[in-house]
Amino acid sequence: MWSFAQLADTIHEGLQASLPPAWALAAEMTIVGLSAIGLFAMLGLVLVLMERKVSAFMQIRIGPNRVGPAGLLQSFADTLKLLVKEGITPDGVDKFLFNAAPLVAMIAAMLLLAPIAFARDFQIWDLNIGVLYVSAVSSLNVIAILMAGWSSNNKYSLLGAMRSGAQIVSYELSAGLSVLTIVVLAGSLQVSEIVASQADGWWIFKGHVPALMAFVIFLIAATAETNRAPFDMAEAESELTAGFHTEYSGMKFALFFLAEYINVFIVCAIGATLFLGGWMPLHIGHWEAFNHAMDWIPSSLWFFGKTFFLIFVIMWFRWTFPRLRIDQLLDLEWRYLLPIGMVNILLVTLVAILGWHF
Amino acid sequence: MARIPYIRYTLSQPPRRRHSTDDPMGPASMLVLTLAAIAFSVIAILISRFVVKGSWNPQKGQAYECGIPTQGQTWIQFQVGYYLFALIFLVFDVELIFLYPWAVVVKEIGWPALVEIVIFLFILFLGFLYAHKVKALTWK
């Protein structure tokens, strides 16, 4: 059966056969880099269109429908528009930080692609502390936001960055605790091991109540960490213009925008990997026939299906809940989610030790 | 370290370890991805710089605030509340880091691991209650 893993193997073997080892490695790295850039661009285009279409669907509108068939080329038009916009650097900004901030945001988003298993045996770097890597690198994002807010010489930017910093670091704790419940159950930090441990059922089904609770907490924390409504205090349009990227225009704004959408994709991919089995098809215990039938659906389809389902849920949140005030937002985390998460981790330990999970 | 036995794969072959930690591609991928991000951003910015024919006037350089000239300095003192949250975050983030290695081995160690983590979390929880009592977690 044709698969991503086979494609990677074919390329690897072909390069090994035709080039000296060092050159083959360099060629492979170039291919990895180029495909990461390609994935970035594709995801940006698809997610922006999806956001607009989902918004339209939620509000019973049609949404973009002029450019291309059913508005499918709308994001190309948007990109083209952003490309020909003038990038203004206002007076009095800290030029170095101002220009470096979008780069840092992009680097943080790009580095997060490394440990994600996109399909069966298809992963850039299956490092043994994959989950820890994700939580470590994803916190780099705060630095980009604070750099942008501080350097912009704009009060709205500064306020937005400060709020966003407080929010992201707070919700990182809850996200970390809910990730840990799955680490306890799977007994490994390696992404491939965690996926493999779900071969007889996904953790959300196997892990009893704790896994379910962790999933809900993870979704809330992921929404907050990516600064999306109802937690979009960082760029509350009606009070802060555009928050930390008020002063950005043209391509630098586009880079922030892109990094934001890629982060949404990545947290959803992590959520899908930990709770919904990643590329693992829907398997139920020892139902061999059923499992075999499910294996016919390609693993990449499973992964992207789950991830895009979670992205849809997060977009759904945006049109369902009103925006929280900053004090309510921090209360939700520190009064409710963090204590619940801590109790939850004890519960899951009990479940894991007693072997109550299936 | 002993691994937990999984139920055998229903597919014909088990997944392979394509990229183990000693694969040269592994650690280098961080460098590759960083370079890819920089290349992407820089090329995008350069293209737009070549395409765009910009103009300049004094109004363009002003901060995008309310339409009237901006008042006073931007880099002023901001609310101390943010610092308090950052400090408490630091405590709990370090706690989280300690929990990671624990979480990996908890199934092998069993009950002692649970008892130890209850003690660990209890001490942290006391600190958490204290933070509540002095209203460090209340936004003013």
- For A143-165, the pLDDT digits (tens) are 888 888 888 878 788 888 888 88
> With bands split at pLDDT 50, 70 and 90, how would you rate the model's confidence at A5?
confident
Supply the pTM of this predicted model: 0.89
Q: What is the ipTM of this complex?
A: 0.81
Residue of A114, A169, A189 with shortest CB distance to B29: A114
SS3 B52: coil
Residue B2 confidence (pLDDT): 41
Calculate the average pLDDT of chain A.
85
Find, in chain B, the residue whose alpha carbon is nearest to that of A105. B37
Q: Does A40 touch chain B (CB under 8 A)?
A: yes
CB contact under 8 A, A339 and B128: yes
Residue A217 confidence (pLDDT): 93
Cα–Cα–Cα angle for A351, A352, A355, nearest 5°?
80
Q: Provide, rounded to the nearest whole percent, the portion of chain A with pLDDT above 90.
A: 14
CB contact under 8 A, A87 and B44: no
Residue A265 confidence (pLDDT): 93
Residue A93 CA to residue A248 CA, distance in Å, equals 11
pLDDT in tens, A82-91: 888 887 787 7
Calculate the average pLDDT of chain B.
76
Residue A116 CA to residue A123 CA, distance in Å, equals 6
SS3 annotation, chain A = CCCHHHHHHHHHHHHHHHCCHHHHHHHHHHHHHHHHHHHHHHHHHHHHHHHHHHHHHHCCCCCCCCCCHHHCCHHHHHHHHHHCCCCCCCCCCCHHHHHHHHHHHHHHHHHCCCCCEEECCEECCCCCCHHHHHHHHHCHHHHHHHHHHHHCCCHHHHHHHHHHHHHHHHHHHHHHHHHHHHHHHHCCCCHHHHHHCCCCCCHHHHCHHHHHHHHHHHHHHHHHHCCCCCCCHHHCHHHHCCHHHCCCCHHHHHHHHHHHHHHHHHHHHHHHHHHCCCCCCCCCCCCHHHHHHHHCCCHHHHHHHHHHHHHHHHHHHHCCCCCCCHHHHHHHHHHHHHHHHHHHHHHHHHHHHHCCCC
Residue of B110, B121, B138 with shortest CB distance to A342: B121
> With bands split at pLDDT 50, 70 and 90, how would you rate the model's confidence at A215?
very high
Which chain B residues contact residue A113 at CB under 8 A? 33
**Residue A174 vs residue A16, higher pLDDT:** A174
Residue B3 reports pLDDT greater than 70: no
Residue A210 reports pLDDT greater than 60: yes
User: How many residue pairs bridge chain A and chain B with CB atoms within 8 Å of each other?
Assistant: 253
> With bands split at pLDDT 50, 70 and 90, how would you rate the model's confidence at B17?
low
Taking the CA atoms of residue A201, residue A203, residue A206 and residue A210 in that order, the dihedral angle to the nearest 10 degrees is -170
Q: Does A296 touch chain B (CB under 8 A)?
A: no
Which chain B residues contact residue A178 at CB under 8 A? none
Residue B49 reports pLDDT greater than 50: yes
